[in-house]
Amino acid sequence: MTVPEGDTVWRAARLLDRALSNQTLVATDFRVPALATWDLSGARVSETVSRGKHLLTRIDADAPWTLHTHLKMEGGWRVLKPGQRWPRPAHTARVVLTTAEAVAVGFALGIVEIVPRARETDLVGHLGPDLLGPGWDPTEAVRRLTEQPDRPIKPALLDQTRLAGIGNMYAAELCFIEVRDLRRLVDRAHQMLELNTRRAQQSTTGDLARGRQFWVFDRAGKPCRRCGTPIRQTLLGDEGRERTTFACPRCQPLPG
Ligand SMILES: [Zn+2]
């Protein structure tokens, strides 16, 4: 199982948008201490959008509110029929939004907060161009990446203020496939995420068969698809925020 990437979050936004938009909430349950007293039942959901890896669910109650959620490492939203058994343990649920026809449950969410809609910019204004956003701007993404010329490319790709939507998997894959030309790298990232919004199974190789979806990600010890050298798993990233990554030591002599 992979961690949520931009396309995973985009698909979660679509799922919530289809299930909840223009529906009245008959019950709400926010299972985080800061929101324990909140009740938005009777409110109407206008839409859910993604911005990078952030989810914004816009809810009209006495005032226009935005429910901000983030999947972080383990989170996921599921939309169920009323009474349907939950696919994950109930104690991991952080938000439950119920309409007459659907129950949307956010499991293991990394962020759950409600802000006045006018303050959405405070939540997502720092993000770089959104790879799956309506205003995707590859030139600006390249400009932001070039602002820090000494920084290794992989942590730069993971920095959501440079461009938004890339997680561990895409960072590893992109650095294996294309690192010489930043514009091509950024275009390739956009193409990969875009393709994966249309299918339930992520792939960067074009092959959807289990074990063949990725070039290097999650393939430690397995032979490189180009040269046969065992793929190496290492820690990489800004100090204190290192992440596991994967690279071919032969094809990528200077990983990162
Ligand atoms: Zn190789």
C-alpha 234: how far from chain center: 22
Nearest to 217 by CA among 170, 185, 252: 170
Q: Is 4 an active-site residue?
A: yes
CA of 234 to the centre of ligand 1 (A): 15
Respond yes or no: is residue 120 known to be catalytic: no
User: Ligand 1 is a single-atom ion; what residues have CB below 5 A from it?
Assistant: 224, 226-227, 229, 248, 250-251
Geometric angle at alpha carbon 103, from 99 and 105, rounded to 5°: 130
Instruction: Render each residue's pLDDT in the chain as its tens digit; 256 residues.
Output: 567 899 999 999 999 999 999 999 999 999 999 999 999 999 999 999 999 999 999 999 999 999 999 999 899 999 999 999 999 999 999 999 999 999 999 999 999 999 999 999 999 999 999 999 999 999 999 999 999 888 989 999 999 999 999 999 999 999 999 878 999 999 999 999 999 999 988 999 999 999 999 999 999 999 999 999 999 998 876 666 677 899 999 999 764 4
Which residue out of 5, 51, 129, 155 is catalytically annotated?
5
Q: Which of 51, 53, 94, 144 is catalytic?
A: 53
Cα of 219 vs centre of ligand 1, distance in Å, is: 12
Residue 53 is among the residues annotated as catalytic for this protein: yes
- Out of 4, 129, 155, 255, pick the active-site residue: 4
For the record, the structure tokens of 23 come out as 């529906």
Q: How far is the CA of 188 from the centre of ligand 1 (A)?
A: 19
User: What residues contact 187, with CB distance under 8 A and at least 6 apart?
Assistant: 138
73 CA → ligand 1 middle, Å: 28
The whole-angstrom separation of Cα 123 and Cα 126 is: 8
Query: Which residue is catalytic, options 74, 138, 243, 249?
Result: 243
Residue 116 forms beta bridges with which residues? 65
pTM given for the model: 0.92
